């Protein structure tokens, strides 16, 4: 019979240190890397018929073996990996018993990380996201005394029902369970609308005047303070976050060699490689409003505090975010770190920038950006944009600049009218 190799493992089969599954004579076995046996090819027979369900179980055994190879704990005698059935082919009677053992939650949690990163690049940010999913899934089943039980619909239903409908906890639990089940191709049908009803706490975003006032507050140090320069560093960090709409920890990912140059409009470059990955990757961001670059003296970085604690901050990105939030609370700034990012998004629209450009600068998809920030739009924000575009139209209609031809003026006027039509439609949608 023709040998069949797992499609998932085909790309890894030539890589040193990677085991793989293949079908031989109608039964499954694991092909072990040659370097484990001084260049000799060895196989581990699994005693499983070549069926779809058995391939899933073979992949679980592959995970166990590959983990041991990666951590130099591989048992070259293979005794550790031999099936309890002594390699006999599974019968219908033994299949159900082994399938129950395969779905023990304790083992699934142990294998979760390897399966999660099969299809994802491993960075500091993706590791943090995985850690969150694992924590949520573990917490969801804490109502059981231990995790040595077969995962069934009954227990999953119970885990979800223990969270209140319409809460962030319910939404977070369902979201992480979806990821967990997908990694194991576990079939569970979530009820329609099971995670709906949650509404994030309403934010009252600061005005630009309040942001400037907060920037002044966060820099204040007592005359007896032994950490001279810290206030200036926090002030500069807050200014950058507000002017470029960054997440707090992204301050650590700024490429200073390329950023804040006058000949490139003082744009900022986020380089995810500096911190081992960010939520939305490397990107270019523009200052809004442009005048804040000069007001806050952003082009002259004040990074004494960041440089002093660079290593611990890079080791734990949350530490910087937490310190920044603490500083804002301690100095009674009056709003939260992420309010600065949200205000950047709204300010950009008020200044007339297109949503797709703002989404790109902030590292969002257009859909995500719209859904995230639409609820922060106020009547005043819409009015600001609408009146600004009307004013622009009037300027174009009365302009007498001889350097522009009639056709050029007509083109500009057409574009202005198109934008006004877009804003009118948007205003109607908002009001409805």
Using the structure block, give the residue that is written with the tokens 């205003």: 427
Structure tokens at 60: 């679980």
Mean pLDDT of the chain: 77
> Mind listing the pLDDT tens digit for each residue in 5-62?
444 444 443 345 788 999 887 888 899 998 888 888 888 888 778 887 778 778 888 8
Compute how many other C-beta atoms are within 10 angstroms of the C-beta atom of residue 431: 8
> Mind listing the pLDDT tens digit for each residue in 349-379?
878 787 778 888 887 666 665 565 555 555 4
What SS3 string covers 370-410?
Answer: HHHHHHHCCHHHHHHHHHHHHHHHHHHHHCCCCCCCHHHHH
Structure tokens at 321: 């975010």
Local structure of 274: helix, strand or coil: helix
Helices (H) and strands (E) in the chain, counts: 18, 6
Using the structure block, give the residue that is written with the tokens 């350097």: 403
Confidence at 406, pLDDT banded by 50, 70, 90: low
CA 45 to CA 22: how far, in whole Å? 10
CA 73 to CA 87: how far, in whole Å? 23
pLDDT reported for residue 127? 83
Confidence at 328, pLDDT banded by 50, 70, 90: very high
Structure tokens at 331: 């100095």
pLDDT reported for residue 405? 62
**Which stretch of 174-188, 363-377, 383-397 has the lowest confidence by average pLDDT?**
383-397
CA 58 to CA 243: how far, in whole Å? 53
- Above 90 in pLDDT, residue 213? yes
- Above 90 in pLDDT, residue 236? yes
- Above 70 in pLDDT, residue 151? yes
- Above 90 in pLDDT, residue 298? yes
pLDDT reported for residue 13? 37
pLDDT reported for residue 419? 63
Are the C-beta atoms of residues 259 and 234 closer than 8 Å to each other?
no
Structure tokens at 257: 């060699």
Angle between helices 317-330 and 230-244 (to 10 degrees): 100
The alpha carbon dihedral of 402, 403, 406, 409 has a sign of negative
Tell me the mean pLDDT in the region 239-243: 95
Tell me the mean pLDDT in the region 96-100: 41
What φ, ψ does residue 376 adopt, rounded to 5°?
-90, 0
Between residues 174 and 198, which one has the greater pLDDT?
174
Return the closest-CA partner of residue 44 out of 83, 13, 16: 83
pLDDT reported for residue 297? 94
Q: What is the reported pTM?
A: 0.55
H helix or E strand, kind and range, residue 130: helix 124-140
Parallel, antiparallel, or unpaired: how do β-strands 4-5 and 268-270 relate?
A: unpaired
pLDDT reported for residue 2? 44
What φ, ψ does residue 284 adopt, rounded to 5°?
-110, 140
């Amino acid at each position: 019979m023709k040998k069949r190799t797992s499609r998932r493992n085909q790309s890894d089969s030539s890589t040193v240190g990677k085991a793989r599954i293949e079908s031989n004579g109608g039964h499954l076995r694991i092909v072990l890397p040659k370097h484990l046996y001084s260049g000799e090819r060895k196989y581990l027979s699994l005693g499983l018929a070549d069926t779809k369900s058995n391939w899933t179980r073979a992949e679980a055994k592959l995970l166990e073996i590959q983990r041991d190879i990666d951590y130099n704990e591989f048992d070259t005698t293979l005794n550790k990996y031999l099936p309890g059935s002594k390699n006999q082919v599974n019968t219908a009677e033994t299949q159900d018993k082994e399938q129950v053992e395969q779905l023990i939650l304790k083992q699934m949690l142990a294998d979760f990380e390897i399966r999660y990163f099969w299809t994802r690049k491993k960075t500091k940010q993706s590791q943090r996201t995985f850690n969150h999913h694992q924590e949520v899934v573990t917490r969801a089943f804490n109502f059981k005394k231990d995790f040595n039980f077969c995962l069934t619909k009954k227990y999953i239903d119970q885990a979800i029902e223990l969270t209140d409908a319409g809460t962030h906890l319910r939404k977070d639990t369902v979201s992480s369970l979806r990821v967990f089940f997908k990694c194991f191709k576990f079939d569970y049908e979530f009820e329609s609308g099971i995670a709906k009803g949650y509404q994030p706490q309403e934010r009252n975003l600061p005005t630009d005047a309040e942001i400037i006032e907060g920037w002044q507050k966060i820099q204040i140090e007592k005359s007896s303070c032994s950490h001279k320069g810290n206030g200036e560093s926090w002030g500069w960090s807050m200014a950058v976050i507000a002017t470029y709409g960054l997440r707090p920890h992204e301050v650590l990912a700024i490429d200073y060699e390329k950023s804040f140059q006058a000949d490139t409009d003082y744009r900022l470059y986020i380089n995810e490689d500096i911190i081992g990955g960010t939520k939305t990757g490397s990107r270019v961001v523009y200052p809004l409003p442009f005048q804040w670059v000069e007001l806050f003296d952003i082009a002259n970085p004040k990074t004494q505090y960041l440089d002093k604690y660079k290593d611990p901050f890079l080791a734990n990105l949350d530490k910087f975010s937490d310190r920044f939030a603490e500083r804002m609370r301690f100095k009674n700034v009056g709003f939260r770190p992420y309010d600065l990012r949200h205000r950047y998004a709204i300010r950009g629209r008020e200044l007339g920038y297109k949503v797709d450009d703002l989404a790109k600068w902030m590292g969002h998809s257009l859909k995500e950006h719209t859904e995230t920030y639409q609820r922060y739009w106020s009547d005043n924000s819409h009015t600001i944009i609408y009146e600004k575009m009307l004013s622009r139209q009037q300027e174009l209609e009365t302009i007498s600049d001889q350097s522009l031809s009639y056709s050029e003026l007509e083109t500009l006027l057409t574009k202005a009218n198109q934008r006004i039509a877009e804003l009118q439609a948007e205003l109607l949608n908002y009001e409805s």
